[in-house]
Amino acid sequence: MTHTEMYYSEIAEAYEKIEATTKRLEMTDLLVNLLKNTPKEIIDKVVYLTQGKIYPDFVKLEIGVAERLAIKALAHASGRRESEIEEDLKKSGDIGETAQKFTAQKRQVTFFQKPLTVQKVYETFDKMAKASGAGAVDTKIMLLAGLLADATPKEAKYIMRTVTGNLRLGIADMTVLDALAIAYGGGKEARELIERAYNISSDLGRVAKVVAEKGLDGIKKFQVIVGEPIRPMLAERLSSPEEILEKLGGKCIAEYKYDGERVQAHKEGEEIKLFSRRLEDISDQYPDAVELLKRHVLAKDAILEGECVAIDPDTGEMRPFQELMHRRRKYEIEKAMEEYPISLFMFDALYVDGKDLTLKPYPVRRKALEKVVKEGDRVKIAKHIITSDVKELEKFFLEAIEDGCEGLVCKSVAADSVYQAGARGWLWIKYKRDYKSEMTDTVDLVVVGAFHGRGRRAGTYGALLLAAYNPESDTFETVTKCGTGFTDEDLAKLPKTLKPHVIPHKHPRVNSIIAADVWLEPKIVLEILGAEITLSPIHTCAMNVIRQGSGLAIRFPRFTGNYRLDKAAEDATTTNEITEMYQKQLKKIAES
């Protein structure tokens, strides 16, 4: 084996250890060791594989193997009947475990079996992703069967999990950045530089390769590139105009907060790509938005941000976000465009004709946006005012509500009001109607565990353990158990929906005193409405922040029926936000 090659067994060994740990620091150490032992020439591939993919999210290529096809490939490789494999899978609930078992009992022995290399596995996955046309399914099955025939049982486990999209390691991008800083940046203090490169490229594999091969000097040369999405800047939230203006230095730009899907538009000549807040290429779902931007963006090359909002085809009035989700489909796009037309409301310019604007103050970026966007009926710049007056801000807020918006986003006009890619900060503050009273606002929480149902709910889950995200520790802290608001149909589907994310123990990034019947990797985000927030000795959200020995809990939670598919787990409501909601509630009680 050459010095640029690596056996896939080394990855499988590392994955097994990572999967077994319940400690986040140990998980990072194991990842550091894996990255240090990886040849620099292929470190990008190892990083992608460790994320459970073969390309960054913005590249529209997935391995795309359904469980059904995986079973066929395993049957072919092991010489066993599909029905036997299906039977075992029902018991194990994990295609990886089943593959490990059947590979160990292979009836067909391959002579002169060569050990699998990372390159061989990656290249095979790549061929599977690119297989198209009439024979694509058979091609994928044969390629996968070939890999499984050469794999050891442990390798088969992780190959199978990867191709079906259920690697279950739960390694977040931030954990990989920590590991890269330690392995190749000289320590955690290099994390900020490496994270900036990732935030403006969204390509963790490329960042890994550059830091491994060229060190921090290479990382410093990273630039914004049209076609590579910039990780979105996020806003904090406050519930009164007085607090907002005080936090923003007495003056702000206040913009309508539209109830739509945030999109990042990349224009390169005549080609336009749209990326979601999760960095997925969603251009195919919005061909009308692509055409609108071709006509209304005057720059040759640009990266602009806006909100894509569903409108009533008869009145032109804005419709709620839920209606826009009908556009999230692969087929009958033309029909969806007629039934759910859209308008675009642009609010930021990150790059224009060779100029990176991300480090410029927001007023400069907004002026650049106004220069390059030609407004029309269905493409507008977000409605705004510049104000230092509390009453004017409140009046504009009420206008936004009247016009069908969620509220306002108030933005700093200071010299340091740069675009904080991938970060949530106080340069942007959300002011939404629902934040004005205790828990009339919904929160987005992550499912981290489940409890078996009883009585009428036997055979499904009776309640879910939900958590808020703590970005400072990169952990998920429990805040409530929710069992209401689910329809009978929701309950029937829950085991199947959650099955791909079931793991054998509490995830290392989950902070929980409560023992769930079933643990889940933090992936699925639900919208929840509660009655109030209280101190709790058993929930870890903001533990010891308000009072020693107490965290915060949401009482009487109810599922709204909204699965937040547009949000990653790390985009969920933060522990700081829950803390602030609790403190506002106390203040309101004290004043009444």
Distance CA 516, CA 498 (A): 14
Distance CA 230, CA 208 (A): 17
Distance CA 114, CA 112 (A): 6
User: 311, 342 in Cβ contact below 8 A?
Assistant: yes
Distance CA 319, CA 340 (A): 9
Residues in the chain: 592
Distance CA 339, CA 335 (A): 6
The sign one gets for the Cα dihedral 10, 11, 12, 17 is: positive
- H/E/C letters for each residue in 502-554? EECCCCCCEECCCCCCEEECCCCEEEEECCEEEEECCCCCCCCCCECCEEEEE
User: 557, 590 in Cβ contact below 8 A?
Assistant: no
Active site residue 60: no
Give the containing element (helix H, strand E) for 446.
Answer: strand 442-452
Task: List Cβ neighbours of 360 (8 Å cut-off, separation of 6 or more).
Answer: 368, 418, 419
CA angle 324, 63, 279 (to 5 degrees): 40
User: 150, 40 in Cβ contact below 8 A?
Assistant: no
Q: What is the dihedral angle through the alpha carbons of 139, 145, 151, 156, rounded to the nearest 10 degrees? A: 100
Alpha-helical regions (H) of 248-355? 287-296, 321-324, 333-339
DSSP string for 6-75: -BHHHHHHHHHHHHH---HHHHHHHHHHHHHTS-GGGHHHHHHHHTTSSS-TTS-------HHHHHHHHH
Q: Which two tokens stand for residue 232?
A: 């979105």
Give the containing element (helix H, strand E) for 217.
Answer: helix 204-220
Burial 127-144 (b: 16+ CB within 10 A, else e): ebbebeeeeebebbbbbb
Query: Of the residues 45, 72, 154, 257, which is catalytic?
Result: 257
CB atoms within 10 A of CB 436: 15
What Å distances lie between residue 296 and 268, 344, 369, CA to CA?
14, 10, 11
The sign one gets for the Cα dihedral 389, 390, 393, 395 is: negative
Q: Which two tokens stand for residue 47?
A: 């990083």
Distance CA 249, CA 240 (A): 15
Distance CA 563, CA 490 (A): 11
User: 308, 260 in Cβ contact below 8 A?
Assistant: yes
Known catalytic residues? Answer: 257
